[in-house]
Structure 1
Amino acid sequence: MRNASTWRDDRLGRPRSVTLSSGPLRFHDTGGDGLPVLVFAHGYLVNANIWRKLVPLLRAEHRCITPDLPLGSHVVPVNRDADLSPPGIAGMIAELLEALDLDEVTLFGNDSGGAYSQLVAAWHPERLARLVLATCETPECTWPPTPGGFGLLKATAAHPASYRALYQVLRLPRTWRWRNTYGWLAKYPIEAPAMWSYLRPVLDRAEIRHDGRKAIGAVSARYSRAAAEELVRRFDRPVLLLWAEEDHVFPVAHAQRYTARLPNAELVRVPDSYTYLSEDQPEAVAKHLRDWFA
């Protein structure tokens, strides 16, 4: 019987790991020479499995790399003193690109992974050719986002006991569709194996809770807004904003205004989806990426 916390979909590619200055980072790699290389950045309390439906649609044409960032659903803890602030996580992504000697990368970020990706593009752009922001923080959003009550995640991170207590209700599958858990992030229910891979680490392992608490406790809109202003001023590479039309958390109107300010940006709206575009509409996301690359 597979371990719920360590299971990753085989379609993500070969499991690999690299040791960064912050500690070990596990990732999956489809390999191959397909260009451009796609590197995916997920948000809080999910892992590489969030891409399990999208990567199979792209891997014949592109090398796809899907790290498990230390955001509460990972398997291997980073160093106890690792910097898990937004600049620290962005630095970790940039260091991964360097460790793998990747150039001309398309960085794809969703949910708070989009906020971290904006920090990478703003402060570590050397290895990037393109940026995809898929329904995520914009300069008008708070971080954590206010809609859905996600601000509670940061508030309870103030103490290990309150942080641990917050997530215990998620042991009951019926809570997964609440709007302040995953109900406003995925329009359609996420299958149980993927959900348990997201939840078991934070529920069962103190060292993973330590990392997740540090990460969510450090987020702030001052980081994402500073990065956005830097991108508006200096980032001249193509940016695709893929946005869920029905999103409750990150309004399309925010994306429209952000697109208008970015030097080389295009907005594409995706119907019938909430924040997790790769869960709700992977085929549409893959098509829009192909069209954009073409």
Structure 2
Amino acid sequence: MRIELTAGTVEYTDTGGPGPVVVFVHGLLMDGTLWDETVAELTGHRCVVPTLPLGAHRQPMHEDADLSMSGIAALLTEFLERLDLRDVTLVGVDTGGALVQLLMANGAPRVSGVVLGSCDAFDNFPPGLTGKTLVATGKLSPGLFGVFMQQMRLRAVRRLPIAFGWLTKRGDAATARWIRPLLADAAIRRDTVRVLRAAAASPGFLLEAAERLPSFDRPVLLAWATEDRVMPLDHARRLEALLPKGKLVEVADSYTLLPLDQPTEFARLIREFTAG
């Protein structure tokens, strides 16, 4: 499915149905397929999964689109409004969790609860070797950025700590798929460089958001990978302490991308959260 929003056309999937509405938010250089296995486990839920303009999208944004983190958070808010989604459980992981925190900090009136998988928080942006390397490449022209990213065709490169190696134990097939749009389309490379440059220009945005998180009074589940090398477990504990209705659950045998490494367990946690 597609919807035309202020910034451009956004592709999404929607399982439909009358069950609890769950909206999933992916991270940088990822698309909505991050959630495929988790969504497959959530029968009885209405699962809505947008592919946001974060580098693996297939529909280029308008040239004047705001592709900063706050701009993409506003795009996500517009998406919820245009589809008239209410009582939403918002689920985010990696930089998707950062975007969810921005919505929480701004009140998120359509959201009844939040699940944050291992994600950027506080001063951890860009996160780890992966995030710092990626944001640094935004200094390149879109053409040179594309040349640099050609290396990601090789599995050995994708598995490096500066790429996806510390983000997922088992999801290499997905990461190989995510890089194809920017390798094939100059407009997607242009968008991605704009996202990275905007990210480099505002590294402290999550610290500012954290100051407003105590006002978010709805339930929040923090599902954090115990083996995460990119998103510190201490940040999950700090978020739990900040949020009036925050609860931390640790997930074993996974890196950051729980929907790839532990999709069944992650789905179980979401199912229990929405039931509660």
TM-score class, shorter-chain normalisation, is: over 0.9
Instruction: Report the secondary structure of 2:164's partner residue.
Output: helix
Preserved CA contact (<8 Å) 1:44 1:216:
no
The gaps in structure 1 that reach 5 residues or longer are 1-15
Q: Superposition pairs for residues 1-294 of structure 1, below 5 Å?
A: 16-35=1-20, 37-58=21-42, 60-123=43-106, 125-141=108-124, 143-145=125-127, 147-160=128-141, 161-191=143-173, 194-219=174-199, 220-232=202-214, 234-293=215-274, 294=276
Alignment CA distance shift 1:20-1:246 (3 Å): same
Alignment CA distance shift 1:170-1:132 (3 Å): same
Q: Residues of 2 paired with 1:274 and 1:174: CA distance? A: 18
Query: What is the CA distance between 1:166 and its match in structure 2?
Result: 2.4
Identical-residue share of aligned pairs (%): 42
Q: Residues of 2 paired with 1:140 and 1:265: CA distance? A: 20
Q: Residues of 1 paired with 2:211 and 2:180: CA distance? A: 37
Query: What is the CA distance between 1:189 and its match in structure 2?
Result: 4.1
Instruction: Report the secondary structure of 2:13's partner residue.
Output: strand
Instruction: Report the secondary structure of 1:139's partner residue.
Output: coil
Corresponding residue for 1:9? none
Question: Bigger CA drift: 220-229 or 110-119?
Answer: 220-229
TM (norm. structure 1) is 0.89
Query: What is the CA distance between 1:70 and its match in structure 2?
Result: 0.5
Alignment CA distance shift 1:149-1:200 (3 Å): closer
Question: Bigger CA drift: 105-114 or 209-218?
Answer: 209-218
Alignment CA distance shift 1:100-1:243 (3 Å): same
Preserved CA contact (<8 Å) 1:94 1:124:
no
Instruction: Report the secondary structure of 2:92's partner residue.
Output: strand
Instruction: Report the secondary structure of 2:105's partner residue.
Output: helix
Question: Bigger CA drift: 240-249 or 119-128?
Answer: 119-128
Query: What is the CA distance between 1:260 and its match in structure 2?
Result: 1.1
Query: What is the CA distance between 1:197 and its match in structure 2?
Result: 2.5
State the AA in 2 paired with 1:212.
Answer: T
Preserved CA contact (<8 Å) 2:155 2:172:
no
Query: What is the CA distance between 1:149 and its match in structure 2?
Result: 4.7
Query: What is the CA distance between 1:228 and its match in structure 2?
Result: 1.7
The gaps in structure 2 that reach 5 residues or longer are none
Query: What is the CA distance between 1:221 and its match in structure 2?
Result: 3.3
Instruction: Report the secondary structure of 2:211's partner residue.
Output: helix
- Aligned pair count reads 272
Deviations 1:188-212 (A, max 9, x none): 2422xx3343011111211001111
Over aligned residue pairs, what C-alpha RMSD do you find?
Answer: 1.3
Query: What is the CA distance between 1:124 and its match in structure 2?
Result: 5.0
Preserved CA contact (<8 Å) 2:133 2:162:
no
Deviations 1:55-90 (A, max 9, x none): 0001x2210011111111111111111001011000
Query: What is the CA distance between 1:140 and its match in structure 2?
Result: 4.0
Superposed structure 1 runs of 4+ greater than 3 Å apart:
none
Alignment CA distance shift 1:30-1:73 (3 Å): same
